[in-house]
Amino acid sequence: MTLRLRAAILTACLGFSGAAGAQQANPLDVIPDKMPFSTPYGEPISLSRAQTAIAAAIGEAQNRGWALNVAVFDSGANLVAFARMDNAQLGSIAIAQHKARAAVKYRRPTKAFEEGIQKNDNKYLLTLDDVIASRGGIPLIQNGKLIGAIGCSGGTGSQDEAACMVGAATINR
């Protein structure tokens, strides 16, 4: 008798949770009309332009008293230029590079991953290769084409992003 009662309760619980789950639509099942983040890749950024973007980001960081690491990757996800400000933390060297690489590979600011995971609970983003869910990686767009990306790390995410935006503004006009 107890076994039958347990089975009935289990069936009722499974049926109830299944019915509740069926009522909720999965936002990932929505099919957009247009492809998001579809900026075409362009020619790789030159060293001089990469250095200009880095100098602008460093200038912003210096004005605010921040010590950052700044990296620029080209449209093929290759490192073009890197700078480590005096006293910038060593652990952020790889993170600055990771942010730039992810921004160029996925053609979007890394803030999109941060928001996708934190605000929208899109945990599947954590399964994608080379994703970093921290702001501070910004694509560099010239004439409607992605020529590279800049990544900053060493401060808070918002500090990294603010410095990167200044560096990106030398390209993204």
Kindly report, residue by residue over 57-107, the tens digit of the pLDDT.
999 999 999 999 999 999 999 999 999 999 999 999 999 999 999 999 999
Q: pTM of this prediction?
A: 0.81
The rounded distance, in Å, linking the Cα atoms of 164 and 161 is 5
Question: Edge-to-edge strands of the sheet including 69-74?
Answer: 79-84, 69-74, 145-153, 137-142
The rounded distance, in Å, linking the Cα atoms of 161 and 44 is 22
The rounded distance, in Å, linking the Cα atoms of 135 and 23 is 34
Token representation of residue 2: 């107890």
The rounded distance, in Å, linking the Cα atoms of 14 and 170 is 57
Token representation of residue 89: 């933390």
Q: Answer yes or no: CATH 1.10.10.10 is held by domain 47-168.
A: no
